[in-house]
Amino acid sequence: MRIAFIGDIVGRPGRKIIKENLSKIKEEYNIDFVIANGENASHGFGLTVKNCKELLNTGIDVITGGNHTFDKRQEMYALLETAPVLRPDNYPEGVPGEGIKVFEVNGEKLAIINLMGQYTMPTVENPFNWATRLLYNLKEEGVENIFIDFHAEVTSEKRIIFMMLKGQVSGICGTHTHVGTDDLQIVDGTAYLTDIGLTGCRDNIIGMNEKIPIQKATTGIGGHFEVPNSCKAILQMMVIDIEDGKAVDCFKLKKLCDRKELIKTEAIID
Ligand SMILES: [Fe+2]
């Protein structure tokens, strides 16, 4: 099967570039299943019911989250019960929703896992031990195709989970920093990228207008971070070919709003 993962969708420009391009890309590249991180999809903070429906209608199959999952709390509670929406699985016990779901793709099982790191993040259980437990259960159930969205601030936490789980899962992609890294690779059948980068405005500060962040950095006085209405938008996507639980090929696609051709980067395969 061929799956794709789209990085953190930030606000309306992120939703717009997906609406305008995803179905075409899915068709051109024969993509069977699409995962997208949507914790910043509504005004940069959280996800509303309306925007969730809008994204699912573009061809996204499941939406993952992170530290902003509960920013629009009541709407998220409803979505976690009724829609293919995940929040990091290692949130403490009692938090609504879940962070693991098994789907049927081309007659095969595909597990999607959403986890969150600990550095500068809300209180969560240790993601490394949590992942080990989840994988044990999935293997017991005979699920071989497994993809993880690891939402974390630091590159080291992401590399740790990769080194721990390589050979055991089909793909791991980092999210949260909104800035893509260039270490796309496959090791022991696990496709990996430290961070996919945002899908939204690329000409400011992590998808937000630069005025308030600069003011905050220079004066200590903060304010509300705003997603600009118009900008140079980018869509960033990781594509993985999986056979019997192993990633056999992987590449990244970038679509810029003002250029026709996609930019394709191949993974290093070891
Ligand atoms: Fe985040």
- Cα(157) to ligand 1 centroid in Å equals 14
Q: Beta 185-187 vs 268-269: how paired, if at all?
A: parallel
Task: pLDDT band for 133, please (50, 70, 90 cuts).
Answer: very high
Counts for the chain of helices (H) and strands (E), in that order:
6, 14
**Tokens 């809008």 found at:** 54
pTM strictly above 0.95: yes
Beta bridge partners of 64: 37
CA distance 167 to 244: 12
CA of 108 from ligand 1 middle (Å) equals 30
- Residues annotated catalytic, as ranges: 68
User: Which 8-state DSSP code applies to residue 235?
Assistant: E
pLDDT band at 123 (very low <50, low <70, confident <90, very high): very high
From its phi and psi, is residue 193 left (phi > 0), alpha (psi between -120 and 50) or beta?
beta
Task: Give distance in angstroms: CA of 255 to centre of ligand 1.
Answer: 22
The 3-class SS string of 68-118 reads: CCCCCHHHHHHHHHHCCECCCCCCCCCCCCCCEEEEEECCEEEEEEEEECC
Residue at token pair 């293919």: 84
Each residue of 158-174: pLDDT tens digit? 999 999 999 999 999 99
